[in-house]
Amino acid sequence: MPRALVTGAGNGIGRAIARQLADNGFEVAAVDIDGAAAESTAADVGGTAYGCDVADERAVAALAESVGALDVVVSNAGIWRSKSLADSTLAEVEDVLRTNVVGSWLIARALTPNFPETGGAIVNLTSTLAEMPGVGRGIYPASKAAIVALTKQLASEYAPRRIRVNAVGPGLVLTEGTRGEFADPGLARAIGESMPLGRLGEPSDIAAAVGFLASPAAGYITGQVLFVDGGWTVNGSAFIGLAVQDYFRQPVQ
Provide the 8-state DSSP code for 21. H
Let me know how long the chain is: 253
Burial status of residue 88 (CB atoms within 10 A of its CB: 0-12, 13-18, 19 or more): middle
Do 26 and 3 touch, CB atoms closer than 8 A? yes
User: Which of 140, 158, 220, 247 is flagged as catalytic?
Assistant: 140
Do 201 and 170 touch, CB atoms closer than 8 A? yes
Helix (H, G, I), strand (E, B) or coil at 31: strand
Residue by residue, DSSP assigns 108-127 as HHHHGGGS-TT-EEEEEE--
Residue by residue, DSSP assigns 79-104 as ----S-TTT--HHHHHHHHIIIIIHH
Do 228 and 201 touch, CB atoms closer than 8 A? yes
Note if 158 is an active site residue. Answer: no
Active-site residues, by number, are 140
